[in-house]
Chains A and B, each alone.
Chain A
C-alpha cells in the first residue's frame, strides 16, 4: 500500500546551517505530496505542496521538489533559524480526489541551536 518514509531524527543543526530532511514514498498512481510542520504544543500546519512530477513547492525559505524517478520529496532550507525548530511531516494524498485522506511519515524533529 501507499506509504511515506522519512529520515529518523532528531536532526540538530546550528543556526544558518543548511537543512535537508529526506522523504521517500511508495504509491500507486500519481499522488500529491506535502510537507506539514508541527511547532511545540500546536497542531500541524501545511508548509508546502507539489501536485505533479518535477513541481517544486516552496514557502518561508523551504523547498521540496517532486521527483518521480526517485520517488522522493526531500525538504531543504538554505539557512535555518532557531524558530524553525519543530517536527516536520512528509505526507501524500491517498484515494480519489474528492477525499482528503493523507498518509503521513513518522515525522522528523529538527532542533536548531543558536
Chain B
C-alpha cells in the first residue's frame, strides 16, 4: 500500500459525458501528479500540482482539467469524453525535495462507451 488513495476504482460512462477522478496523497506529501496509461500511448504525464499550485504540465488535453485543494487532495476532471479517453488514470504524490520519487495510487480505470 503506497498510501495514495484514488476513487473510484472503476468508472464506466458514455461519450460526451463528464467525470471527476479523486486522489488523496500520502500524508506529508505536497505534490500530486496525474498520469494516463493506455495501450497505445503508454504512460503519459498529464499535470503536477504542488501545494495547491500548478507546477508542470504535460500532454493534457484542453477537455481535461485538474486542481489541488487546500487539504492537498486533487481532482482530475475529464469532459466531453471520447472513446479514446478510455484508460487507466494514476495519481502519484511525492515528498518535498524528492519530486521524482513518486508513490502511485492503484489507479482509476475509465471506460467510455
Contact = CB atoms under 8 A, between A and B. Distances in A.
B87 interface: no
Interface in A90-114: 93, 95, 97-107
A89 interface: yes
Given A93-B100, A103-B45, A43 B105 contact: yes
Nearest to A97: B99
Contact of B101 (A49, A103, A106): A49
Interface string A40-55: 0111111001000000
Contacts of B43: 44, 89, 104, 107
Interface of B: 2, 4, 31, 33, 42-45, 48, 50, 55-56, 58, 90, 92, 94, 99-107
A41 B90 CA distance: 12
B36 to A, nearest CB: 11
A100 B56 contact: yes
Nearest to A44: B104
A49 B103 CA distance: 14
Contact of B55 (A44, A98, A107): A98
Contact of B42 (A97, A101, A104): A104
A66 interface: no
